[in-house]
Structure 1
Amino acid sequence: MGACCSCQWGGGKFEGFYVEEEDEQREVEDEDIIMRGDNGAHIRLQGSSNYVSMFTKQGKKGVNQDAMTVWESFSGDKDMFYCGVFDGHGPSGHKVSHYVRDLLPAKISTLYKQSSTDGKDCALDIDYVNNEDGNENPELKNPFFLSWKARLTKCFHEMDEELEGDGSIESYCSGTTSVSVLKKGEHLIITNLGDSRAVLCTRDESNQLIPEQLTVDLKPNLPSEEQRITSCQGRVLAMEEEPNVYRIWMPDQDCPGLAMARAFGDFCLKDFGLISTPEVTYRKLTEKDEFVVLASDGIWDVLSNNDVVKIVASARKRSTAAKLLIQKAVRAWRNKYPFAKIDDCAVICLFFKSQKPLLTKSLSEVSQLSLNYEELGANGYAAKSDDGLDTVLNLNTNVNESSEGDQRPRKRRPGRRSVYGAE
């Protein structure tokens, strides 16, 4: 995902349960990579199973900074799945994304088992939130949701603190987003930090497949995000060459230019509005729901939610669904943004039912996909720069404001904690 601030930091190899990341340039193969996790959980890093399809592909920006994981039988519960996609950015973004991928699910599993063993419901100190019409949000009355929101938020904060304290990982100018789901029976908990996305495939009243977006892309120019950032003296501005890409900048320096409002790491911005507090939401599944797709923004930059649902549903084999989706996204990048560098892509498809055809037609016969680019014209190429980086270097960025003087990033002030904003 390119570089962030031009800092000199020592970096070491992260030694987690998976250390194959050193061979970054090789094409990811189709073979399964399965580890053993807490309480007998099966940790899948690539491949497929009866209910899971996952695949990642390196883009054209350098090392693949995307990471993903699926925990089947999470915490020893055979009815429970954890799925997560992590999109790194900055000079050590690939190390940060792998670090969080390896440690965050285990932290969540440990806290879950501890609360179950102790017979406690784990810090249910969350107030009810009203909708705009004044009615209480029904999902916040669900004890399962309340409990998991507290657990997940706690784990994310602890994960960020541990990342900052680990000197072997350069996270001052590097970080990662995260999108994940926990599925237990009919319950689906969605956790979002950044601009990756989760989309559900369900059926409408006519039994047609339709998408339902489960997360909000947490970009810096969202009103609530921008308000928090500017209240912390951070700046939200777009560069002249990327008028549609808003970034977070330090108060008096044109760096690091981060294109999302929440992330793990990026501690140069944690005093200026960037937070590691996830948005946690709940969805009760029904018989109409078919699957959920988690993917990094390399997919959503070129395919609509409807495209993604139709492509996954059209896969002749469930095991190939994630790979098929990435192949279509790569083709879309080449057609839609021919002068841009293709982004890394990572996809997890979690299916809810036993395998059966979802569409009777193949993808080549499916209509209404926005994969025909003749209609785009010249304007279709304007939204992406040549690099399309999540972070940009401290260079002549031509933002609306510019700073003078010392351009060196200042270190985080000792004793000052990250700003964990309210949802």
Structure 2
Amino acid sequence: MGSCFSSSGSRSPLPSPASSIGKKRKTSMKKHSSSFHHSWKEDQLHRIPGRRFLNGSSEVASLFTQQGRKGNNQDAMLVWENFGSRKGAVFCGIFDGHGPYGHMVAKRVRDSLPLKLSALLEVSTKSDDVPMDMSLSTKGSINSESASFLCTDEVKVHTSGDIFQTLKESFLTSFSVMDLELKTASIDSFSSGTTAVTLVRQGHDLVIGNVGDSRAILGTRDKGNSIIAVQLTVDLKPNLPAEAERIQKCKGRVFALHDEPEVTRVWLPNADFPGLAMARAFGDFCLKDFGLISVPEVSYRRLTAKDEFVILATDGIWDVLSNEEVVEIVDSASARSSAAKVVVEAAIRSWRNKHPASKVDDCAVVCLFLDDGADSASNEKVNGVHNHEKVAEEWSSDIQGVSRSDTILTSPRALQENGTKPP
């Protein structure tokens, strides 16, 4: 995974949330009652036409996730066709949770963020007189430095002639509101959170919003008609100079452990906790006063006839497969409906070959095909019934409090101070 870390060494204990941050942890009773509420909510969301969040496929997309060997599957995914009631518009998202309740945070963001974005887009475009499939006039992205210090009050939706600016503000605002919702939700997000790499595609226009270290890549053809990979997002980790500078200005600490020099992590000012291996995330409120932000990088791409598919995936894929390998796997898949599954299976094999002593991470993949020649998904109808039956199962499972061992520092001493047994 690469987000949270477990240490067997002696380190500073987990600071009391009430004493160091001034926030109380939610009770387990509230969390369990919340799970039933979201089971019902998830069932209602499942009934929305064109919305898929479990393994399956449609004419335009393939999605697949498989649990690793680190506890609950903390990866979540979504494909939503005719997004915002706009014919041909598609929303895709991948969400990689971490921490004791990361699986709950990831699902909450999966369910709520698209609704907020859809509502903002509807308001900002005002009327059907502003077509979503028109050519966007501005190319570019919000880089780490320009987005770092945006706060909720500074992110406002406004209508202008620049459609990309409108879409960009909608992404920024929806991400900000989503994080505020998590702060007051019954899910304990003190040291749990999630990444999010999301996109909206309408016609030739592709807008991407990214927080964390999940990734989006494009499969496109070069001049020789060979398939090549183009990375569409930046892995927002604390080893990036701009990200580290922001965190350090806010008194957070950024360093790698001696026995893990390749992984830079974020730590509290006065405690070796939590050791988060990303610079932006939803949740993780123990670090929000110390440089961690949920502001997305937003970028735009004008699609061409040479662009064939976009792949969104969690770092369970990217830790063991290169961009080029993933693009080749999807391009050579026997059927589009199985493309995401084939990528996950290849990643699992690679985990076992490259890291035989390590636990396989959760993996999740969404493949969005950009042309109109997608083969029919013969299992679509079956998957729809299967998904409906499994809706309640996702949220009614017992919360084990399993932290991904390589995401956040949960030292034995810290766990003992918090009344928790070490994993």
Output the TM-score relative to the length of structure 2.
0.75
* 1:35 corresponds to: 46
SS of the counterpart of 2:124? helix
Alpha-carbon shift at residue 143 of structure 1 (Å): 2.0
1:220 matched to 2:231? The reply is no
Q: How does 1:122-141 map to 2 (within 5 A)?
A: none
User: What per-residue deviation string (whole Å, max 9, x for no partner) do you get for residues 339-391 of structure 1?
Assistant: 1111100100000113369xxxxxxxxxxxxxxxxxxxxxxxxxxxxx75211
Q: By percentage of residues, which structure has more helix?
A: 2
CA contact (8 A) 2:65 2:365 kept: yes
* 2:202 corresponds to: 184
* 2:360 corresponds to: 342
Alpha-carbon shift at residue 111 of structure 1 (Å): 1.3
Alpha-carbon shift at residue 120 of structure 1 (Å): 11
Letter in 2 for 1:145: F
CA contact (8 A) 1:6 1:393 kept: no
Change (3 A) 1:20 1:241: farther
CA contact (8 A) 1:16 1:99 kept: no
* 1:70 corresponds to: 79
User: What per-residue deviation string (whole Å, max 9, x for no partner) do you get for residues 254-308 of structure 1?
Assistant: 0011010000000000000000000000000000000000000000000000000
Letter in 1 for 2:121: Y
* 1:287 corresponds to: 305
SS of the counterpart of 1:219? coil
Q: How many residues align?
A: 343
CA contact (8 A) 1:256 1:394 kept: no
1:90 matched to 2:99? The reply is yes
1:315 matched to 2:333? The reply is yes
1:163 matched to 2:174? The reply is no
Q: 2:115 aligns with which of 106, 115, 129?
A: 106
Letter in 2 for 1:159: M
Letter in 2 for 1:106: L
Alpha-carbon shift at residue 241 of structure 1 (Å): 2.1
CA contact (8 A) 1:84 1:181 kept: yes
Unaligned stretches of 5+ residues in structure 1: 23-32, 132-140, 358-386, 398-406, 409-423
Alpha-carbon shift at residue 116 of structure 1 (Å): 3.2
CA contact (8 A) 2:141 2:300 kept: no
CA contact (8 A) 1:34 1:42 kept: no
SS of the counterpart of 1:113? helix
Unaligned stretches of 5+ residues in structure 2: 7-13, 17-24, 131-137, 144-159, 376-403, 419-423
SS of the counterpart of 1:290? strand
Change (3 A) 1:18 1:285: farther
Q: 1:351 aligns with which of 336, 346, 369?
A: 369
User: What per-residue deviation string (whole Å, max 9, x for no partner) do you get for residues 116-167 of structure 1?
Assistant: 346899xxxx999899xxxxxxxxx98221111101100100100011011x
Structure 1: distance between partners of 2:195 and 2:230: 21
Identity score, percent: 50
Change (3 A) 1:293 1:267: same
Q: How does 1:257-406 map to 2 (within 5 A)?
A: 257-355=275-373, 389-395=406-412
SS of the counterpart of 1:271? helix
